[in-house]
Structure 1
């Protein structure tokens, strides 16, 4: 075997590792769409999601001279306060003993490795899964998708939001935001104190709508007197959260 053949496995591993790292970054950069969808799901009377999960890396070092073991596992039943994602571990670890299925965990957005939502058995996100699917042959990929029971679609064109192809505007504004605007206005008019209430993290309704990327509702809240200078317990305004989530329309409104 020549030297090129000997080096081939390590080259392939390095390339795949780089692609996985890129998938992690894409998941982190697009997390805002995941949270926006979960935010609206919490308001639905009839759930639309088959599931919604994020993937996190968990580590454990068993001996001082050993490389830490790493397992990437899924977490659901999620909440997000603009800084930390909190949820419940779905998987049973294979090797790790410092965490168990059902444990509550918390991480920052820059620590997630993936996110995925399924609506009507069609997936959104799943960047690391698509990276793996890209390495498979057609038959293997079909078996993989059947095992999940999901329509993953094209691994070269990962969807971020529901009906993205049919309605590209859904990337800019969630369709429910436009529908619910008048209801929000009517509710605040009847319950004006709601606009000043802050939760245990100091988040007001304006903070929460800015984090979730709901520009139309942010406009309504400002029109009804919401204080855009109000700060959370983390000393952040709605504009600060909008910038951290990179919701450009809301940044322009709050400026």
Structure 2
């Protein structure tokens, strides 16, 4: 799919433009969730998709753009890639199942579901907010999902009661990680829950800290991009090279800075001083 067919619609309402901006700002939490989903043996998400606006053909009787969702998402820090979920109504050049790639700066929305509960879906929230209660009920029933209250977009599941674990031990009982900005939500629960097993695994097989995947990325780079503090901490502890570069010439620190993971940035910066 040629990227010149993928655009953001400048004629969208201010509310939709604001929704797209919020979706891009919070996309890192969507990718963090997917980074753990791809590690699960049993899938935990019912749906994980990104909305993209495709320019329709000049002279088409339809709208200037057609908004569609893609799934099977991959992300390299700049480009979001996936597969088109549905056949378009106004485009003949693409169809369901075709590969799609778009710069992160051009996505229009993201959403994932856990047990039928929707996280993300900023553009859907705008549409639902303009509906009557009866219309919202019909909309939600058609989707078969819980979108929550209009005007309240959930980014991640509500945090459970904090327990003593790897991260609290890492930073000390009295010195907890500092949230440096309001968008820096708590660590993903799987990051905490898997820390002990990962620590033992890296102790047994330290070569994993230096392994490179088929795309030329290290585990440290992948977890720094996704914002997984505990894995980053453990990989560094067991010998991962913070200065190693991916094929785009980016280190784990570069990736953490790009995505805005302040606790990972602070940890990796210490390794360079």
- 1:219 aligned to 215, 233, 236, which one? 233
Match of 2:18 in 1: 22
Match of 2:105 in 1: 110
- Distance in 2 (CA, whole Å) between partners of 1:79 and 1:146 is 30
Give deviations 1:56-95, integer Å, cap 9, x for gaps. 11113335x9998311100011122222221110011001
In the TM superposition, 1:113-132 aligns within 5 A as: 113-132=108-127
Which structure dedicates a bigger proportion of its chain to helix?
A: 1
Q: Aligned pair 1:141/2:136, yes or no?
A: yes
Q: Which runs of 5+ in 2 are unaligned?
A: 1-9, 163-178
In the TM superposition, 1:1-255 aligns within 5 A as: 17-63=13-59, 69-164=64-159, 166=160, 171-255=185-269
Q: TM-score, normalised by structure 1?
A: 0.88
Q: Note the C-alpha offset of 1:108.
A: 2.0
The alignment covers a number of residue pairs equal to 240
Q: Which runs of 5+ in 1 are unaligned?
A: 1-13
Match of 1:10 in 2: none
Q: TM-score, normalised by structure 2?
A: 0.82
Is the 2:202–2:209 Cα contact (8 Å) retained in structure 1? Answer: yes
- Distance in 1 (CA, whole Å) between partners of 2:151 and 2:109 is 16
Match of 1:11 in 2: none
| 1:30 match: secondary structure | helix
| 1:49 match: secondary structure | coil
Is the 2:206–2:239 Cα contact (8 Å) retained in structure 1? Answer: no
- Distance in 1 (CA, whole Å) between partners of 2:11 and 2:26 is 23
